[in-house]
């Protein structure tokens, strides 16, 4: 980790054309070893690298299968490669309040029930076609909600009368593309540019950069 972080910082300095860095980053590196000072995020591991154990094995398999159905591996990694199921379990444990947990539980149970009724097996044990059909059916029923409008509202901000599929998509998609695998292997790894150029070319097969907050 340390090597990677140092490498990143060296890259930043190089990108800035050899400008001498102010003392702050040196201190930041030094402080990373001092438990009394909050560790800078850049010196931390991935947020998902922490233990969590709030799902039963069956629920874990169900959430895992649903995540992979939404965002499957193909020429690029999928939800399981990016640890989206674990991300969702961590959110369930640390981030959701009771209403969201209830919505999440009802949603995944509903998907499992539909798989058993319609396809004769638990969701996790259905084939990919059946899994996709189940999630598509749920989205069809819930898709009139304003969340599904162009640039729609945020399920996290609104949190009132949000259908399960809106919450599920919002948190799974966010966890996927913000992950290390999602940012580097599904999107394009974007080391700090050091310059701004608003007129570069984009070919049809090129992805977005990983998201940067607008501030």
Residues 133-192 that bind other proteins (CB under 8 A): 135-136, 139, 143, 147-152, 156-157, 159, 169-171, 173-175, 177-180, 183, 186-187, 192
Residue selected from 23, 53, 117, 160 as contacting other proteins according to rule CB under 8 A? 23
| Terminal Cα-to-Cα distance of the chain (whole angstroms) | 28
Backbone angles phi, psi at 50, to 5 degrees: -145, 150
In the complex, minimum distance from the CB of residue 196 to other proteins, in angstroms, rounded to a whole number:
4
Q: Tokens standing for 47?
A: 């947020």
d(CA 122, CA 154): 30
Q: Tokens standing for 16?
A: 């800035």
Q: Which is closer to other proteins, CB of 57 or CB of 145?
A: 145
In the complex, minimum distance from the CB of residue 177 to other proteins, in angstroms, rounded to a whole number:
5
* Burial annotation 187-197 (CB, 10 A radius, 16+ → b, else e): beeeeeeeeee
Judged by CB under 8 A, how many residues of this single chain contact other proteins?
A: 88
Residue 103 and residue 164 in contact, taking contact as beta carbons nearer than 8 Å:
yes
Alpha-carbon torsion, ordered 40, 45, 47, 51, to 10 deg: -130
Q: Which is closer to other proteins, CB of 57 or CB of 199?
A: 199
Show the binding pattern over residues 33-62: x = contacts other proteins (CB under 8 A), - = does not.
Answer: ----xxxxxx-xxxxx--------------
In the complex, minimum distance from the CB of residue 211 to other proteins, in angstroms, rounded to a whole number:
6
Alpha-carbon torsion, ordered 182, 185, 191, 193, to 10 deg: -100
Residue selected from 10, 33, 106, 193 as contacting other proteins according to rule CB under 8 A? 193
In the complex, minimum distance from the CB of residue 47 to other proteins, in angstroms, rounded to a whole number:
5
Q: Does 74 engage in binding with other proteins (CB under 8 A)?
A: yes
Which residues in the 99-138 window bind other proteins by CB under 8 A?
132, 135-136
């Amino acid at each position: 980790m340390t090597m990677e972080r140092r490498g990143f910082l060296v890259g930043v300095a190089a990108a800035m054309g050899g400008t001498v860095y102010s003392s702050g980053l040196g201190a930041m590196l030094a402080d990373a070893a001092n438990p009394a000072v909050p560790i800078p995020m850049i010196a931390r591991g991935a947020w998902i690298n922490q233990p969590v154990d709030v799902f039963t094995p069956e629920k874990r398999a169900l959430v895992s299968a649903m995540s992979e159905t939404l965002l499957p591996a193909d020429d690029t990694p999928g939800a399981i490669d990016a640890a989206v199921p674990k991300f969702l379990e961590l959110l369930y444990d640390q981030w959701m309040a009771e209403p969201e947990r209830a919505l999440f539980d009802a949603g995944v149970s509903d998907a499992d029930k539909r798989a058993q009724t319609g396809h004769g097996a638990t969701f996790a044990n259905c084939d990919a076609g059946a899994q996709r059909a189940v999630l598509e059916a749920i989205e069809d029923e819930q898709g009139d909600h304003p969340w599904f409008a162009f640039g729609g509202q945020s399920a996290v901000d609104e949190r009132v009368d949000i259908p399960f599929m809106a919450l599920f998509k919002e948190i799974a998609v966010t966890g996927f593309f913000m992950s290390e695998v999602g940012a580097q292997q599904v999107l394009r790894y974007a080391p700090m540019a050091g310059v701004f150029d608003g007129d570069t070319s984009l070919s049809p097969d090129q992805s977005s950069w990983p998201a940067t907050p607008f501030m």
